Amino acid sequence: MSAPLSLPQSSPVSPTGDRMCFRVQSSRIPEWNYIVDLTGEEGRSTCTCIDWAVRRGPAIKAGGVIGTREVMCRHVIAARNYFLNGLLASMAKSETER
């Protein structure tokens, strides 16, 4: 028996309401948000930040591999962690309900 899991209150990631799209707060400028689409670029994900535009996007176009640091900016990594945390918590919950 375990207490229900909850995500950290300070999580800089929140759902946008669009399927698999998340809003990620800038670490340097809290008023800024970037939008990450986890299923964009065949699962390698897209982000609206400069790092993605100048480094990650071109790395993807050059054949970058899904899940590698080369193709993921910090916002994509944060959104993937947020999504996976929610998925694992709900899987664990449904398995205890059987």
Q: Of 45, 46, 52, 82, which lies in the binding site for Zn ion, with binding defined by CB under 5 A?
A: 52
User: Is residue 75 a contact residue for Zn ion (CB under 5 A)?
Assistant: yes
DSSP 47: E
User: Minimal distance in Å, beta carbon 45 to Zn ion?
Assistant: 9
Task: Say which residues have a Cβ less than 8 Å from residue 85's Cβ, sequence separation at least 6.
Answer: 5, 7
Q: Least distance in Å: CB of 38 to Zn ion?
A: 12
d(CA 13, CA 23) in angstroms, rounded, equals 6
Nearest CB to Zn ion, comparing residues 83 and 89: 83
Does 73 participate in binding Zn ion (rule CB under 5 A)? yes
Of 30, 14, 69, 22, the residue nearest 47 (C-alpha): 22
Selected range binding Zn ion among 15-23, 37-45, 48-56, 60-68, rule: CB under 5 A: 48-56
